[in-house]
Structure 1
């Protein structure tokens, strides 16, 4: 599901999991993606690990392994499933066991897990198939957790970005949206995910978690992160340059850095004991 800011646009179609070209565009620069994207709150990792019946975790859409490495550091054994071979290769080089496939096509071959996680990736999975498959591979008492960041840059950064994006890509479906969106929009998206999980009839009641934190970015750091986001990975170099220049000027006007208020949201549910 698209858990991103307007500065980080994602697919607007009703079925984003069908936008395969964008879904598999993030590997264009896997190293930059891994270095620039933020990690997840330690409290979230601990809560999932401690709330699962054992250490075996399946990471759906693991990307370069940002979340997976955090779970490994917490003592878990992680298997990643990732459709982009470039992202998977980067994760494998960093010590993660990864199988290259979409979650829908992936074959568990009888394997089961204590937890299934999806970090910033569940919107690329067909929700009906994904929920059913998660239930299939979870052991009784196993935990499914879908989570991601919500981050809205300050208006002084978000508005120049939105204007530059409209100039650079006026025909993009992302160019017509507001510069910033309220947190309730994202909470509603997670509530929709929770409803889909409940519809399987194979999970106990869902829970909604929220973790608030901050991170300060320099001009260089933010301009390194921006090209890794969905609305920018497919732009032509000249389009991207114009956007980055506008955002860079905006950050310079703030003294060369700004502080981002992050919220990490999660929907989680425990597998029932029935087969």
Structure 2
């Protein structure tokens, strides 16, 4: 559920779900993507599993299977739905069952699940169709959980990235955004997800969850992650190299590492009544 002149591996909350070119760019280097992207708080996984009626999970936009493997480790049987065949292939090689399709076009053929999750992928799903389809494939009492990270690198890292991006890609439509975006913008995006869930009239009142944590990155670890973000996956290799050089120099000036403060936000709701 970012990318831009603020080093987030997903589009900002205002990015429309129709931004297909960026959505398809994440599978350029699946191995790097899988190794560099952070996982999700164990407390989040445990809360979803314990709040669901069973262990059958559908992972919407599963990517390389980062979240799916965490749910498998928690005892769940996970089916992934992923539109990018490259990412689906990587996830299958790691032991995940995956069907290649967008969630909107995917055919459940009568299958239902105890939980439907979307880990930093719901912004690629049509907001009206997504919640309604989740309701159709959830068993009574099943849980929909949409979640993702808010990326807030320290200004000493975010500002040099934004400046380097502007110089390397002056014509990018992603230029002109601030280096750091207020977390409230992301909270507002998850509030909109909750509103779409309410409009289906097939869920209990949605809940908003928040998990705060941190992770230390070395220079090499951060520079490994950056090329997997949407703002860079669409650039030429030379442009990416220029940006990484400047960001690397900034991290060197901090002693070669920094601490990333993460907030993982989630909107979750329980399916009411009986499935259609």
* TM > 0.5: yes
Aligned to 1:168: 168
| Alignment pair present for 1:225 and 2:225 | yes
Distance in 2 (alpha carbons) for counterparts of 1:96 and 1:30: 15
Q: Is the 8 A contact 1:2 1:123 kept in 2?
A: no
Q: Is the 8 A contact 1:190 1:267 kept in 2?
A: yes
Mean CA deviation greater in 113-122 or 166-175: 166-175
Shift of 1:96: 0.2
Aligned to 1:241: 241
Aligned to 1:38: 38
3-state SS of paired residue (1:116): strand
Aligned to 1:74: 74
Q: Is the 8 A contact 1:118 1:145 kept in 2?
A: yes
Q: Is the 8 A contact 1:12 1:174 kept in 2?
A: no
Distance in 2 (alpha carbons) for counterparts of 1:24 and 1:238: 21
Specify whether residues 223 and 229 from structure 1 end up closer, same or farther in structure 2 by C-alpha distance, changes over 3 A only. Answer: same
Aligned to 2:108: 108
CA deviation map 1:192-227 (0-9, x unaligned): 111011011110000000000000000000000000
Distance in 1 (alpha carbons) for counterparts of 2:171 and 2:85: 30
Mean CA deviation greater in 112-121 or 6-15: 6-15
3-state SS of paired residue (2:109): coil
Distance in 1 (alpha carbons) for counterparts of 2:203 and 2:5: 30
Shift of 1:267: 0.2
3-state SS of paired residue (1:25): helix
Q: Is the 8 A contact 2:146 2:268 kept in 1?
A: yes
Distance in 2 (alpha carbons) for counterparts of 1:140 and 1:77: 18
CA deviation map 1:135-182 (0-9, x unaligned): 000001000000001111100000000000011111212110111011
TM-score by length of 1: 0.97
Distance in 2 (alpha carbons) for counterparts of 1:55 and 1:155: 41
Equivalent runs, 1:17-32 vs 2, <5 Å? 17-32=17-32
Distance in 1 (alpha carbons) for counterparts of 2:266 and 2:159: 27
Aligned to 1:198: 198
Q: Which runs of 5+ in 1 are unaligned?
A: none
Aligned to 1:49: 49
Shift of 1:99: 0.2
Shift of 1:274: 3.6
Equivalent runs, 1:176-187 vs 2, <5 Å? 176-187=176-187
Distance in 2 (alpha carbons) for counterparts of 1:17 and 1:38: 22
Shift of 1:13: 9.5
Distance in 1 (alpha carbons) for counterparts of 2:98 and 2:200: 27
| Alignment pair present for 1:139 and 2:139 | yes
Distance in 1 (alpha carbons) for counterparts of 2:12 and 2:185: 13
Q: Is the 8 A contact 2:2 2:8 kept in 1?
A: no
Equivalent runs, 1:9-20 vs 2, <5 Å? 10-11=10-11, 16-20=16-20
Shift of 1:101: 0.4
Aligned to 1:260: 260
Over the aligned positions, Cα root-mean-square deviation in angstroms equals 1.6
